[in-house]
Amino acid sequence: MTTVTNSRTERREVMRRIRPRRSPAVPLSLLSWAGAAAVVTLWWRNTPNVVGDAAWLVGGGRLTGLLSGYSIALVVLLMARVPALERRVGSDRVARWHAMSGRYTLCLVLAHIVLIIWGYAAQARTGVVDQTVTVVTEYPDMVRAVIGTALLLLVGLVSAGTVRRRMPYEAWYYLHLMTYAGVYLAFWHQLAAGAEFVADETARTAWYALYGTVTAALVWFRVLVPVGLNLRHRMRVLAVVPEAPGMVSVVIGGRDLDRLGAEPGQFFRWRFLAPGLRWGSHPYSLSAPPQPERLRITVKAVGGHSSALAALEPGTRVWAEGPYGSMTPGRRSRSKVLLIAGGAGITPLRALFETLPGRGGDITLLYRARSMEDLALWDELQRIAEERGARLLYAVNGPDGARPEITAERLRTVLPDIDRHDVFLCGPPGLAEHAYAALREAGVPDRRIHHESFEM
């Protein structure tokens, strides 16, 4: 009886520790829609009876202008790297929200320009070109608004998939920063020319509060917090260690690094202050739990920045921002866990493999690689598996290059109760897509498949 009681007590303790935190995604989505509803209400309250085509066009132009102004504020807020979003919702999900809301915003901006010019031209009984010249040259703050809008459209163009893939990351990143200049230049004409703000002090105050809050979040989380972090911890490269063909670990030293608040499975955005690297900031996961005076990342050479890390000299100054990411032990909701890693995706999962709470026998790691030589950190993984009593499996290509596919049938063979597992998945997009489909077919619910992409 004592043995059973102790087992139950232990299990209850494990479940208490792995109880997942609630994601704020749904309440945040509802809050953003509530803000949009408030904007529509503002337009409705200040819109008289609409009679005639010209009035409908002008009314539509005013409404799309208000909505675009509101959505631009949300786009910038999603760039602010607010910890509650980055750590709880997930950086990849926030990046998708940012991209999606950016596309909607540009559509609203274009609709606003077309409708308002067309409507004003119909009211004045003049041509569209003449009316455009009149609006730009005679309306307050319109020249700045035109420049700001052009910058926003340029950012939207370079962020389109086909253009973005052809650009170096650093070029795209610094062009993307022009969003801030575009928003600043376009902001003032909203208050100077917007009918909703000219005679409504409450509306003006609310608009200032919205943009002021977003600006404060941006300055705090993108500038002041990183400056404080790096002044406090003073990070430098300690060593660069080869792990597998084309993969190295970078050991980073500093002060009180265990007080960064980083969890296994999270990442930082790293900037190495060395020639050719200082202008690029890239996300790399921690490949080991943080220690008081050192952190470790393990990076696969897939581009110019990641390839150059192998040549880093000890003593190189490091600038870091983070920690970010939501693929942490807090996402776990079951006592049994399967970790599926591919390529450089082993880095966050190796840290989770060592630190996930619970009995080792409930933890399984499946590592997919091209060959045995590509199984980075394998000796460490074997040691962790032996110490914890966890299961460690690998799948590598055969001598003829044949790929062992991850299928629902094979997953059920290895883990007959796979549908009662939480799954943490990290790897190249192709592997992640294929493994996700196999897991769903094997009966694992979507809410228990935890994946975070770094293709941001």
129-141: pLDDT as tens digits: 999 999 999 888 8
End-to-end CA distance of the chain: 53
At 138, phi and psi to the nearest 5? -110, -20
Residue 12 has pLDDT above 50, yes or no: no
Angle (CA) 222-452-271 rounded to 5° is 40
Q: Is residue 236 classed as helix, strand or coil in its secondary structure?
A: strand
Least confident range from 20-24, 73-77, 186-190, 407-411: namely: 20-24
The string of DSSP codes covering 137-206 is: HHSTTHHHHHHHHHHHHHHHHHTSHHHHTTS-HHHHHHHHTHHHHHHHHHHHHHHHH-HHHHT-HHHHHH
What was the pLDDT predicted at 16? Answer: 42
| pTM (predicted TM-score) | 0.81
CB 28, CB 341: distance < 8 Å: no
Q: Is residue 242 classed as helix, strand or coil in its secondary structure?
A: strand
Residues contacting residue 97 through CB under 8 Å, at least 6 positions apart? 78
% of the chain surpassing 70 pLDDT:
94
For the CA atoms of the chain, what is the radius of gyration? 26
Q: Is the peptide bond before 323 cis (omega within 30 degrees of 0)?
A: yes
Containing 295, the helix (H) or strand (E) segment is strand 294-300
Q: Is residue 288 classed as helix, strand or coil in its secondary structure?
A: coil
Task: Give the start-to-end residue ranges of the domains of the chain.
Answer: 24-229, 234-324, 329-452
pLDDT digits (tens, 9 = 90+) for 62-72: 999 999 999 99
Residue 422 has pLDDT above 80, yes or no: yes
Residue 13 has pLDDT above 60, yes or no: no
The CA distance from 168 to 92, in Å, is 20
Mean predicted confidence (pLDDT) in 166-186: 87
The CA distance from 119 to 59, in Å, is 8
What was the pLDDT predicted at 454? Answer: 60
Mean predicted confidence (pLDDT) in 103-113: 94
Residue 169 has pLDDT above 90, yes or no: no
What was the pLDDT predicted at 334? Answer: 87
Residue 360 has pLDDT above 90, yes or no: no
Residues contacting residue 14 through CB under 8 Å, at least 6 positions apart? 335, 357, 358, 359
What was the pLDDT predicted at 23? Answer: 61
Residue 6 has pLDDT above 90, yes or no: no
Interhelix angle 178-193/142-158, rounded to 10 degrees, is 140
Mean predicted confidence (pLDDT) in 248-273: 93
What was the pLDDT predicted at 11? Answer: 42
Mean predicted confidence (pLDDT) in 204-230: 95
Q: What is the average pLDDT value for the chain, to the nearest integer?
A: 87
Mean predicted confidence (pLDDT) in 300-316: 89
Mean predicted confidence (pLDDT) in 44-50: 82
User: 103 — alpha (psi -120 to 50), left (phi > 0) or beta?
Assistant: alpha
Architecture of domain 234-324: Beta Barrel (2.40)
The CA distance from 437 to 367, in Å, is 17
At 316, phi and psi to the nearest 5? -60, 130
What was the pLDDT predicted at 1? Answer: 37
What was the pLDDT predicted at 305? Answer: 82
What is the CATH number that goes with domain 329-452?
A: 3.40.50.80
Q: How many other β-carbons are positioned within 10 Å of the β-carbon of residue 153?
A: 13
pLDDT digits (tens, 9 = 90+) for 364-392: 999 998 888 889 899 999 999 999 999 99
